[in-house]
Chains A and B, each alone.
Chain A
Amino acid sequence: DSGVTQTPKHLITATGQRVTLRCSPRSGDLSVYWYQQSLDQGLQFLIQYYNGEERAKGNILERFSAQQFPDLHSELNLSSLELGDSALYFCASSLSAGSQPQHFGDGTRLSIL
């Protein structure tokens, strides 16, 4: 058990809808990362927060947004969903923003119908 909790585990919705994925980091970790994993794109880094502040941005679409709250949990918001957004979304956390390894949750599987 990594200590990172992601909810929900599965999400099925339709095109054009909006969803929110939630992540509770491992106790004591200040940094949260979001990744998208799909068969054709592999594991893509989306965005990182450190202690509530955005630290780094990757290949995150404008339709997607995230935030980290004062209690350090994070949410990833996906809007105007398209079929191509179907993927596994992972949250990871680490103690700091530097060389510490990331600890991954088990992901949220998003299916767009």
Chain B
Amino acid sequence: AQSVAQPEDQVNVAEGNPLTVKCTYSVSGNPYLFWYVQYPNRGLQFLLKYITGDNLVKGSYGFEAEFNKSQTSFHLKKPSALVSDSALYFCAVRDMGNYGQNFVFGPGTRLSVLP
């Protein structure tokens, strides 16, 4: 069965500093990997995805993520955090070869960027 772990419930970072939100996954085949962000009282918004190819994926709002197959990780990064980046971040995985399964979302990590 596929699963996603986000080991940190909360990440605090000062504005202007780099940020990392961690994600590890488990699938039996090759993964499709996604990051989403959720602001209060809103639905999730797509940030970026990894399907195949370059391990470094660039997405919306200056975010990027690095796929590491050996560590089964897909950490979200941003070189310089903004206060407006404060939100709930979800990592999601789907087993590429198994259409009977669907997206599995991690529990979410709350990012707080302090001014």
Separation of A92 and B38 alpha carbons in the complex (Å) = 13
Q: Determine whether the beta carbon of B41 is less than 8 Å from that of A106.
A: yes
Given contacts A56-B102, A107-B43, whether A42 and B32 have CB atoms under 8 Å apart is: no
B interface SS class: loop
A43 CB contact (under 8 Å) in B96, B99, B105: B105
Over the window 1-31 of chain A, the binary record of Cβ atoms lying under 8 Å from chain B Cβ atoms (1 yes, 0 no) is 0101000000000000000000000000000
Over the window 27-61 of chain A, the binary record of Cβ atoms lying under 8 Å from chain B Cβ atoms (1 yes, 0 no) is 00000010100000011010010000001101000
- Taking A43-B90, A45-B102, A45-B104 as known contacts, 8 extra A-B pairs with beta carbons closer than 8 A to each other, sorted by chain A number, are A4-B43, A56-B101, A92-B44, A99-B51, A101-B46, A104-B43, A104-B44, A106-B43
Q: Determine whether the beta carbon of B102 is less than 8 Å from that of A101.
A: no
Residues of A within 8 A of B (CB): 2, 4, 33, 35, 42-43, 45, 48, 55-56, 58, 90, 92, 97-99, 101-107
Q: Which among B41, B49, B103 has the greatest number of chain A C-beta atoms within 10 A?
A: B103
Chain A residue at minimal CB-CB distance from B34: A101
Q: Determine whether the beta carbon of A56 is less than 8 Å from that of B42.
A: no
Given contacts A90-B44, A99-B51, A101-B34, whether A43 and B108 have CB atoms under 8 Å apart is: yes
